[in-house]
Structure 1
Amino acid sequence: MILPADASPLIISVATTCAATAATFFLGMIAARMMYRVRGGFRAWIDGILTLPLVLPPTVVGFFLLLIFGRRSLIGRGLEHVGVTIAFSWPATVIAATVIAFPLMYRTTLGAFDQVNPTLLEAARTLGASEWVVFRRVLLPLAGPGVIAGTVLAFARSLGEFGATLMLAGNIPGRTQTMPIAIFSAVEGGDMNAALLWVVLIVVVSLAIIRLLNVEKRSRIMARAEPDLSRSEFSGQFPVAVVSSRENGSAVKLDVDLERTLENFTLRIALGARNGAVGLLGPSGSGKSMTLRMIAGVSTPDRGRIVLNGRVLFDSAAGRNIPAASRRIGVVFQDYALFPHLTVADNVGFGLARMTKDERRARIWNQLESMGIAELAHRYPRQISGGQRQRVAIARCMAMEPDALLLDEPFAALDPHLRRRTEEQLRATLAGFNGPVVFVTHDMEEAFRFCPELQVLDSGRVIASGPKQELFERPRTVAAARLTGCKNIVAACRVGNDCVEVAAWQCRLQAAPEVPEALTHVGFRSHQLAFQRPADTKNTFPCWLVTTSEAPHEMTLYLRLHSAPSSGQPPHLQADVSKEVWRDLSKRPQPWHITLDPTRLLLLEE
Structure 2
Amino acid sequence: METDLSPLWISLKTSLVATIFAFFSGIIVARWMLNYQGKGKGLIDGILTLPLVLPPTVVGFLLLLLFGINSAVGQLLMRVGVNLIFSWPATVIASTVVAFPLMYKTVLAAFEQVEIDFLNSARTLGSPEWKIFWQIILPLAWPGVVGGTILSFARALGEFGATLMLAGSIPGKTQTIPIAIFFAAEAGNMRKALIWVLVMVAISLGVIAAINSWSTAQRPSKSLKIKTNTFTKKLLNFLIFGQFQDVAISENDSSYQRLSPENSGYSGFPRSEPELLVNLHKKLPDFTLDVNFTADKNPLGLLGASGSGKSMTLRCIAGLETPTQGRIVLNKRVLFDSERGINIPSRQRRVGFVFQNYALFPHLTVAQNIGFGLQNFPKTERPKRVAKYLDMMQLTGLGDRYPHQLSGGQQQRVALARALVSEPEALLLDEPLSALDSYLRDQIEKLLVKVISRYEGINLFITHKLEEAYRVCGNILVLSQGQAIAYGSKEDIFERPPTYTVAQVTECKNFSPARLINSHTIEALDWECTLNVIESIPEPLTFVGIRAHQISFLNQPHQHNTFPCWLVETSETQHRTTVYIKLHEPPKGSDDYHLQVELYKEKWVEFKDRPLPWYVRLDPLQLIMMRE
CA positional deviation for 1:41: 7.4
Contact 1:4/1:194, CA 8 A, preserved across alignment: no
Contact 2:568–2:589 (Cα < 8 Å) also in 1 = no
CA-to-aligned-CA distance 1:322-367 (integer Å, 9 cap, x gap): 1111111111111111100011011111111233443211111111
Q: Is the 8 A contact 2:302 2:478 kept in 1?
A: yes
- CA distance 1:176–1:324, shift in 2 (3 Å): same
- Cα offset, 1:530, TM superposition: 1.1
Mapped contact 1:126–1:331 kept (Cα < 8 A): yes
Say yes or no: does 1:244 pair with 2:259.
Answer: yes
Alignment of 1:243-262 (within 5 A): 244-246=259-261, 249-262=271-284
Equivalent residue, structure 2, for 1:57: 55
* Matched residue, 1:351: 373
Distance 2:517 2:75 in 1: 94
TM-superposition CA deviations, 1:57-113 (whole Å, max 9, x none):
222222222222222223222322222223322222222211211111111111111
User: Which of 404, 422, 445 is the aligned partner of 1:400?
Assistant: 422
The amino acid that maps onto 1:36 is L
Distance 1:41 1:531, change over 3 A: farther
Task: Tell me what 1:263 maps to.
Answer: 285
1:314 maps onto 2:336 in alignment:
yes
Pick from 79, 94, 119 the counterpart of residue 77 of structure 2: 79
Structure 1 range deviating more: 413-422 or 486-495: 486-495
SS in 1 for 2:14: helix
Partner of 2:552: 530
Say if 2:557 and 2:563, in contact at 8 Å, map to a contact too: no
- Report the alpha carbon displacement of residue 427 of structure 1 after superposing the two structures with TM: 2.0
Deviates more, 1:37-46 or 1:176-185: 37-46
Structure 2 residue ranges without an equivalent (≥5): 238-245, 263-268
Displacement of 1:37 in angstroms is 1.7
Q: 1:193 to 1:298 in 2, by over 3 A?
A: same
Residue equivalent to 2:67: 69
How far the C-alpha of 1:300 sits from its partner, in A, is 1.2
Judged with a 3 Å threshold, the aligned counterparts in structure 2 of structure 1 residues 524 and 358 are, in CA distance, closer, same or farther, namely: same
Q: SS of 1:284's equivalent?
A: coil
Q: Quote the offset at 1:216 in angstroms.
A: 5.5
Secondary structure in 2 aligned to 1:349?
helix
| Residue aligning to 1:580 | 602
CA positional deviation for 1:228: 5.9
Instruction: Identify the range of structure 1 (87-96 vs 176-185) with the bigger mean alpha-carbon deviation.
Output: 87-96
1:285-296 residue pairs with structure 2 within 5 A?
285-296=307-318
| Matching residue's letter, 1:502 | A
SS of alignment partner, residue 180 of structure 1: helix
Query: Structure 1 pair 516/355, CA: closer, same or farther in 2 (3 Å)?
Result: closer
Give me the whole-angstrom Cα distance separating, in 2, the residues matched to 1:40 and 1:502: 59
RMSD between aligned alpha carbons? 2.2
Aligned match of 2:446: 424
Which string of whole-angstrom CA distances, capped at 9 and with x for unpartnered residues, describes residues 135-170 of structure 1? 000010001101110111111011001112222222
Q: Measure how far apart 1:39 and its partner are.
A: 4.4
* Residue pair 1:331, 1:406 contacting (<8 A) in 2 also: yes
The whole-number CA distance in structure 2 between the counterparts of 1:102 and 1:324 is: 34
* Distance change in 2, residues 1:62/1:582 (3 Å): same
Q: 2:482 and 2:173 mapped to 1: Cα distance?
A: 68
Whether 1:325 and 2:340 are equivalent positions in the alignment is no
* Structure 1 residues 252 and 599: alpha-carbon distance in aligned structure 2, compared to 1, 3 A threshold: same
Q: Secondary structure at the match of 1:465?
A: strand
- The answer as to whether partners of 2:225 and 2:362 remain within 8 angstroms in 1 is no
Structure 1 equivalent of residue 161 of structure 2: 163
Give 1:537-556 correspondences, 5 Å limit.
537-556=559-578
Q: Secondary structure at the match of 1:335?
A: coil
**TM-score, normalising length: structure 2:** 0.92
Q: Residue 17 of structure 2 aligns to which amino acid in structure 1?
A: A
SS of match in other structure, 1:358: coil
Shifted more, 293-302 versus 439-448: the winner is: 293-302
Contact (CA 8 Å) 2:59, 2:162: kept in 1 or not?
A: yes
Match of 1:38 in 2: 36
**Counterpart among 105, 108, 111 of residue 106 in structure 2:** 108
Alignment partner, residue 459 of structure 2: 437
Q: Which residue is 1:144 aligned to?
A: 142
Contact 2:370 2:421 in 1 (8 A): yes
Between the two proteins, the alignment pairs up a number of residues equal to 604
Match of 1:498? 520
Q: Distance between the aligned counterparts of 1:228 and 1:22, measured in 2?
A: 23
Deviation of 1:226 (Å):
7.9
- Would you say the 8 A contact 1:547–1:559 is kept in 2? yes
**Could you say which residue in structure 1 is the equivalent of 2:127?**
129
Match of 1:597 in 2: 619
Contact conserved, 2:143 with 2:218, CA < 8 A, in 1? Answer: no
Instruction: Name the CA shift for 1:478/1:41 in 2 (closer, same or farther; >3 Å).
Output: farther
User: In structure 2, what is the equivalent of residue 29 of structure 1?
Assistant: 27
1:193 aligns with 2:191: yes
CA spacing shift, 1:65–1:445, aligned 2, 3 Å: same
Shift, 1:315, TM fit: 1.3
User: CA 1:150/1:245 → structure 2, altered by over 3 Å: closer, same or farther?
Assistant: farther
For 1:409 and 1:336, the matched residues in 2 are separated by 10
- 1:439 partner amino acid: F
Check whether the contact 1:257–1:304 (CA below 8 A) recurs between aligned residues. Answer: yes
Q: Which region of structure 1 is more displaced relative to structure 2, 294-303 or 237-246?
A: 237-246
Residue-by-residue CA offset, 1:253-279 (whole Å, 9 max, x unaligned): 221111111111111122222213111
Distance 1:304 1:211 in 2: 57
Contact 2:249–2:383 (Cα < 8 Å) also in 1: no
The CA deviation at 1:220 is 6.2
Q: Which runs of 5+ in 1 are unaligned?
A: none
Match of 2:94 in 1: 96
1:221 deviation in Å? 7.8
1:299 matched to 2:343: no
Q: Could you tell me which residue of structure 1 aligns to residue 5 of structure 2?
A: 7
Letter of the structure 1 residue corresponding to residue 386 of structure 2:
I
| 1:227 shift after superposition | 6.8
- Give the match's secondary structure for 1:492: strand
Same amino acid, percent of matched pairs: 50
Q: Compute the displacement of 1:206 (Å).
A: 2.9
Q: What CA deviation, in whole Å up to 9, does each residue of 1:416-466 have, x standing for no partner?
A: 221121111122223332111111111110000000011000010000000
Report the residue type matching 1:354 in the other structure: N
Provide, for residues 393-427 of structure 1, a one-character-per-residue CA deviation record: whole Å limited to 9, x for no partner: 11111211111111111111111221121111122
Q: 1:545 to 1:244 in 2, by over 3 A?
A: same
Q: What SS does the aligned partner of 1:475 have?
A: coil
Q: CA shift at 1:540, angstroms?
A: 1.6
Larger mean CA deviation between 56-65 and 181-190 belongs to 56-65
Alpha-carbon deviation of 1:122?
0.6
The one-letter amino acid paired with 2:286 is N
Residues 532, 561 of structure 2: 8 Å contact kept: yes
Describe the shift of the 1:408–1:474 C-alpha distance in structure 2 as closer, same or farther (beyond 3 A).
same
Q: In the alignment, is the contact (CA less than 8 A) between 2:158 and 2:178 conserved in 1? A: yes
Alpha-carbon displacement from aligned partner over 1:269-296 (angstroms, at most 9, x marks no partner): 2222221311111111111111111111
Q: Between 54-63 and 570-579, report the one with greater CA deviation.
A: 54-63
Secondary structure (helix, strand or coil) at the match of 1:173 reads coil
SS in 1 for 2:163: helix
Shift of 1:128: 0.9
Contact 2:228–2:363 (Cα < 8 Å) also in 1: no
Residues 573 and 43 (structure 1), Cα distance of their counterparts in 2 relative to 1, 3 Å cut: farther
Matches of 1:224 and 1:436, distance apart in 2: 35
